[in-house]
Amino acid sequence: MYEIWLVINILWEIALGVWPLLLVAALVWMALMVLAAQRGAAWSRAWPLAAALGAVVALVLIPLVPSAVGSSLANMGYWVDWANLLAICGGLGAAAAAFAWPLLARRGTSP
């Protein structure tokens, strides 16, 4: 349980260091959602493709994330390491899906 609390604290500290970037990303996402909604976006038709894109991004990132932080898959010997890796890749995949969804929904509408 201590390891999970430690991870939460580390993520909080990382977020505090990059909050301007997170704020910009949130504002861009909200703008994409508003723009797509104004055109009568096809939300339900775009969701499966956005979710699939997010899943592909998450799977592609599994071997890439450890090397991006100076580690490797060979160094992951503890279940918390794997849980963190899967959570990071899942979160980035969800972010990719969240940004792709309004873009795909907007594209699915007729002008």
Q: pTM to 2 decimals?
A: 0.81
Confidence label for 93 from pLDDT (cuts 50, 70 and 90): very high
Place of tokens 């071997």: 63
pLDDT digits (tens, 9 = 90+) for 23-72: 999 999 999 999 998 888 888 899 999 999 999 999 999 999 999 888 88
Q: Write out the two tokens for 4.
A: 């999970």
Percent of the chain residues past pLDDT 90, beyond the cut: 56
38 exposure class (CB count in 10 Å sphere: 0-12, 13-18, 19+):
exposed
Look-up: residue for tokens 């503890």? 78
Find the distance separating the first CA and the last CA of the chain, reported in whole Å: 53
